[in-house]
Structure 1
Amino acid sequence: MKPSQSGEPEALAERTEALHLLPGWFRRPTPLLWREMRSHCVPAHWRYHEVRECLRQAAHEVSTEEAERRNLILRNPIPDNDHSTLRTLICAYQTMLPGEKAKSHRHSPHAMRVILESRGAYSIVDGHKHPMESGDIVLTPGGCWHGHGHEGSEQAFWLDGLDVPLTHLLEPMFYEPHPDQWERVAQETTHSPMRFAWAETMAALDRAEADPTGHFGTTITLPTPMMPTVTLKVCRWPANWANRPYRHTANTVYVVMRGSGRSEVGELEVDWSFGDTFVAPAWSRISHHASEDSVICAISDEQLMRWTRYYRVEDLGHGGAPLTISQTNEANLRG
């Protein structure tokens, strides 16, 4: 570096530091730009039968009065991380006992639930009470009052997904407990825009066409207009189906709603079965193989990545040519 008119480089460095300025030509341990996407998170897998046993124990040791939400968070196993499952998403397994109620509250983050085992549980969202039965996917968009209860006879289990890490990053976090603790039910309904019933999801998959790229299998996208940061897809993978390996710039959580198989995410091999959750950080290599007829819920930030025009897909199959940036942008414009 050549000396400036105001003195030696050291003097300039001291002056800029005092003014809270950082010269852009200084070398730094972490550069501002790099050649290709990389995620701080790593692929990970949580086995439902192991988590379920922990929740069964917790149900008898921790009340909903103590915890409000009796859940176990899926923490990505990286240093200095105490909550995030992926960069923009947090997931947790939750349980309720028959007769319990979880107090109503509302918050900025958008939330959804994949109901794994439930007969008689319900959710109240802005006064509308609807069922939460096995196989259902239910929504609680940010800002909506919501609480839960259980009128059945067996312990209920489900998986929650929220965009809490994204909200932390952008900083518009607000939380408010309901002034009456439990929100009053204004209407009871089985058909709600906040609930995707299992039977309706299966019927939609029956009508859907197979993914022409071979990456994703037969897939439907559930409409979430009030939750623009979260994408919900349900995939059907028949026995012995295998995809064309790919990677994309969406952080993705996979929840096994039915079936079993094996997936490779980056260097992690995952043997999955009912209720398991595994995650693919953005730009990880992803390949799947279904051992039996399987249904998977994929929770991601894809539509957020598309809206920002950051979404990109690369085919990693045998003989497949990667998409170029221009092709990816054209795909973004098409939706």
Structure 2
Amino acid sequence: MTDSTTTTDAATGSPVRLQAVSGEDRPEVTPALEELYRGFESELLVPLWTEIGDLMPAHPRSRAVPHLWRWERLRELAARAGDLVPVGRGGERRAIALANPSLGGRPFATPTLWAAIQYLMPGEDAPEHRHTQHAFRFVVEGEGVWTVVGRDPVAMRRGDFLPQAGWNWHAHHNATSEPMAWIDGLDIPFQYATETQFFEFGRDEISDAERITPDRSRSERLWGHPGLRPLSAGATGPGSPLLAYRWEHTDRALADQLALEAEGFGGTVEPGHAAVRFSDPATGADVLPTVRAEMHRIARGAETAPVRETGSSVYQVFDGSGTVTVGKTSWTVTRGDLFVVPSWQPLSIRSEAGSTDSDSGALDLFRFSDSPVFEALRLNRTHVEGTTTR
């Protein structure tokens, strides 16, 4: 409970408004207390005893709420935007952000995470720019667009995860006759809240040399060999130097985990649940300083134990179908659907996927979260139902 508001009072010009409220362990409401509160207001002071319920709750109470966006509808609206909205400097990117319904219309999926569908028409270029926000692209369907990071063209194909640390020049170009959509993830809300963001325009057009369409980017040729670090590479900047994590490797890792479990050797995080984290090949840390990215595969009929975590997550269904429960909300999900898990809301997932709706026969989910931030601040906490909180 709070006894204060932030509405500016016309008479005093103070944004602090305090109300004396009777109650157990509260000061007696008297004229002297009212006079004290008016003094606090005039000096822009707020006593802790009027705010402690909001400032120090017993557990996290996220401003975000669980929500689901249907891929079919997102793609339809993005295609219409492709016909109506230019991709040039006027709008800079044809990116359409998910707005959590409880965050006041801001284009934020959670208080710390941005997620958007981006759409590029045939032959189009998205102009070059850079920003301090850490970003990635994840492709749930299609191919034909190359992202150009630091003048290195990187192919984007279904299932690929493409991280890009902040303050790197980047552009996109569609080299095919078909449009393509993908999701962008960034830490825009986090940097907005901490007032640390910078942005800079780059070239209006990329060079002919950057319009090539190599099967493997230079970053993959140097860094994309499992367990092998190039001796020619010195210290790397924040974020992974590998610009593309290909689906064929992710798929094999998940399949091998479930196969090992079936052979009795373990390897999964829980029965029927395989998972991998994308990591920086130079350090073994998360691919981005503020964003963690993972891929999960849940075998048909398996159900994950309810888990709560500090920090928030956004999931996209890569393949298959199932039922997702976040808090008291449940949805049936299919390929491409995106949903939000706010801080400390319990999440459980049941796979109903099969050979008719999934290439792997399982429910495959891409997840990104703000976990690196909370771990760096020692504010991370997880609770799996039936276990002790850690």
User: How does the TM-score come out when normalised to structure 2?
Assistant: 0.75
Distance 2:274 2:348 in 1: 15
Structure 1 position 198, deviation (Å): 1.1
| Local SS of the residue matching 1:67 | coil
Whichever residue aligns with residue 273 of structure 2, its letter is G
The aligned residue for residue 201 of structure 1 is: 250
Kindly indicate whether residue 316 of structure 2 is the aligned counterpart of residue 255 of structure 1.
Answer: yes
How many percent identity over aligned positions?
A: 29
Q: CA RMSD in A?
A: 2.4
User: Does residue 221 of structure 1 match 2:266?
Assistant: no
Equivalent of residue 298 in structure 2, options 237, 249, 255 = 237
Question: In the alignment, which residue of structure 2 is the partner of 1:121?
Answer: 145
Equivalent residue pairs, number: 315
Q: Which moved more, 1:305-314 or 1:231-240?
A: 305-314
Aligned to 1:47: 70
- How far off is 1:206 after superposition? 3.3
The letter of the residue matching 1:261 is: G
**Counterpart secondary structure, 2:79:** helix
Q: Which of these residues, 95, 98, 101, is aligned with residue 71 of structure 1?
A: 95
Taking the aligned partners of 1:211 and 1:171, their CA distance within structure 2 comes to 40
Amino acid at match of 2:179: Q
Greater relative CO, 1 or 2 (CA 8 Å, sep 6+): 1
Q: What one-letter code is carried by the residue in structure 1 that aligns with 2:365? A: I
Q: Secondary structure at the match of 1:160?
A: strand
Name the counterpart of 1:61. 84
Report the equivalent of 1:331. Answer: none
- 1:302 aligned onto 2:371: yes
Within 1, Cα distance between the matches of 2:181 and 2:39? 59
Structure-2 change in CA distance of 1:210 and 1:265 (3 Å): farther
- Aligned residue for 2:204, secondary structure, equals coil
Rounded to whole Å, the distance in 2 between the matches of 1:207 and 1:250 is 30
Deviation by residue 1:219-259 (Cα, 9 ceiling, x = unmatched): 11001556211000001112112111221113111111111
Which of residues 158, 175, 194 is equivalent to 1:170? 194
Give the drift of 1:29.
Answer: 8.6
Deviation at 1:205, TM superposition (A): 2.2
Any stretches of 5+ residues in structure 2 without a counterpart? 1-26, 221-241, 258-265, 281-285, 354-361
Helix, strand or coil at the partner of 1:31: helix
Q: 1:118–1:154: 8 Å Cα contact kept in structure 2?
A: no
Aligned-partner SS, 1:257: strand
After superposing the two structures, state which structure 1 stretch, 185-194 or 155-164, moved more: 185-194
For residues 289 and 78 of structure 1, do their structure 2 counterparts lie closer, same or farther at Cα, with a shift above 3 Å needed?
A: same
In structure 1, distance between residues paired with 2:243 and 2:67 = 29
Answer 1 or 2: which has greater strand percent: 1
User: Within 5 Å, which residues of 2 pair with 1:59-138?
Assistant: 59-65=82-88, 66-78=90-102, 80-138=104-162
> Contact 2:163–2:287 at 8 Å: present in 1 too?
no
Q: What's the CA shift for 1:196? A: 0.8
CA distance in 2, matches of 1:151, 1:242: 41
Instruction: Tell me how far apart the structure 2 counterparts of residues 44 and 139 of structure 1 sit (CA, whole Å).
Output: 25
Q: Deviation at 1:47?
A: 0.7
Once residues 268 and 58 of structure 2 are traced to their aligned partners in structure 1, the CA distance between those partners, rounded to angstroms, is 30
Runs of 4+ deviating beyond 6 Å: none
Partner letter of residue 42 of structure 1?
V
Query: 1:290 maps to what in 2?
Result: 351
AA of the residue aligned to 2:84: E
Q: Output the CA distance in 2 between the equivalents of 1:275 and 1:35.
A: 36
CA distance in 2, matches of 1:211, 1:305: 24
Instruction: Compare CA radii of gyration and give the structure with the larger one.
Output: 2
Q: Is the contact made by 2:63 and 2:103 (CA closer than 8 Å) also made in structure 1?
A: no
Query: Deviation digits for residues 66-116 of structure 1, max 9, x if unmatched?
Result: 432112211101152321101110111111111000001111111111112
Q: Secondary structure at the match of 1:131?
A: strand
SS at match of 1:181: coil
CA contact (8 A) 1:247 1:313 kept: yes
**Displacement after TM superposition at 1:203 (Å):** 2.2
Corresponding position of 2:223: none
Secondary structure of the 1:117 match is coil
Task: Determine the C-alpha separation between the residues in 1 that align with 2:267 and 2:304.
Answer: 11
**Does 1:211 find its partner at 2:268?**
yes
Per the TM alignment, residue 24 of structure 1 is displaced from its structure 2 partner at its CA by 2.9
Name the counterpart of 2:235. none
Residue by residue, what CA displacement relative to the aligned partner does 1:22-59 show, whole Å, maximum 9, x if unpaired? 3334x249632111111111001111111111112111
User: CA 1:140–1:212 in 2, change beyond 3 Å: closer, same or farther?
Assistant: closer
Task: Give the 3-state SS of the residue equivalent to 2:55 in structure 1.
Answer: coil
Identify unmatched segments of 5+ residues in structure 1.
329-335
Alpha-carbon distance in 2 for matches of 1:241, 1:165: 34
Note the alpha carbon deviations across 1:122-150, whole angstroms, 9 max, x for none: 00111111101111111121111111111
Say whether the 8 Å CA contact 2:287–2:293 is kept in structure 1. Answer: no
Aligned equivalents of 2:276, 2:321: Cα separation in 1:
20
Q: Report if the CA contact (8 A) 1:241-1:290 is conserved.
A: yes
Whether the 8 Å contact between 2:96 and 2:116 is mirrored in structure 1 is yes
Residues 3-26 of structure 1 deviation map (CA, whole Å, 9 limit, x = unaligned): 9xxx9445544444444333334x
